Amino acid sequence: MPNNKVVLSRTDDIAIITLNDPDTLNAMDTLMCEGLRAALDEAQAPLNGYRCILLTGAGRAFSSGANLAASAQAPAPTGPIDAGAVLESHFNPLIAQIQQLEVPLITVVNGVAAGVGMSFALSGDLILAAESAYFLQAFTKIGLVPDGGATWMLPRLIGVARAKELSLLAEKLPAATALDWGLINRVYSDASLMDEAMAMAKKIAHGPTAALGMTRKLYALSPENSLSEQLRLERESQRIAGQNPDAEEGIRSFLQKRSPNYTGRRT
């Protein structure tokens, strides 16, 4: 079960996961990582019947990045500091878990998404942001390098030149510019953001969940695959999708010129 740093709630078939430490602008520590992993496990489990995941932050931020105050309060190391240890133990497994989800993920960026918080914001299949939100590669401000998969995601999303610009200059990227660059999908007014996110989540939750889950995985794997490898993967995924009852319903509804009634069954 999630802990008090992460809240999991349900609206119909939608899992709403909220990073819940507004006093730190949802700065991520090991406890929050563990809570998020548990919430994703619960949202992912087929028996729980979730068909879309929505990830956002409590208060006025999505996440301000790693919780440096918590790190400073930890016992002093006896040897050289290994700033990458928490990546190996907590952040990297969490990023890998998100990539392997079988349920579509929408990230709802309601405020600042900085440092590793930006990496988690960009891990959504669809990324929605409030007009007042901004993104920040803050690492060079504290003498560290981008992490959370940022150096993998950013060049693929916006190209190497803009990725380096964000990381080397550590300047705020407003939501409107992020949209113009193709980094995110939609920008809404602060007041309407969550309503718009829920409307999108409901649309996805009414879709063929198994096929949507396989689609997100195909896109996640495509940057590393050759065309022949990706064609093989598409062929195998199509075999699996075609054996799901939702494929039969989709074809039948198309021929009958009506809206499909998908079950969302994943097994």
209-255 CATH fold: Lyase 2-enoyl-coa Hydratase; Chain  A, domain 2 (1.10.12)
Superfamily of 6-205 according to CATH: 2-enoyl-CoA Hydratase; Chain A, domain 1 (3.90.226.10)
DSSP state of 89: I
pLDDT at residue 2 greater than cutoff 90? no
| Pairwise CA distance, residues 190 & 188, whole Å | 6
Positions of CATH 3.90.226.10 in the chain:
6-205
pLDDT at 14: 98
pLDDT at 81: 79
pLDDT at 171: 97
| Pairwise CA distance, residues 206 & 106, whole Å | 14
Positions of CATH 1.10.12 in the chain:
209-255
* Residues facing residue 113 across a β-bridge: 63, 135
pLDDT at residue 74 greater than cutoff 80? no
| Pairwise CA distance, residues 188 & 98, whole Å | 24
| Pairwise CA distance, residues 42 & 30, whole Å | 18
pLDDT at 100: 93
When pLDDT is averaged across residues 235-246 and rounded to a whole number, the result is 96
| Pairwise CA distance, residues 62 & 113, whole Å | 5
pLDDT at residue 225 greater than cutoff 80? yes
| Pairwise CA distance, residues 250 & 1, whole Å | 35
pLDDT at residue 139 greater than cutoff 60? yes
Confidence bin at 149 (pLDDT 50/70/90): very high
| Pairwise CA distance, residues 169 & 186, whole Å | 25
**Over the stretch 172-189, which tens digit does the pLDDT of each residue have?**
999 999 999 999 999 999
Q: How large a percentage of the chain has pLDDT more than 90? A: 91
Residues 6+ apart with CB under 8 A from 34: 3, 90
pLDDT at residue 75 greater than cutoff 60? no
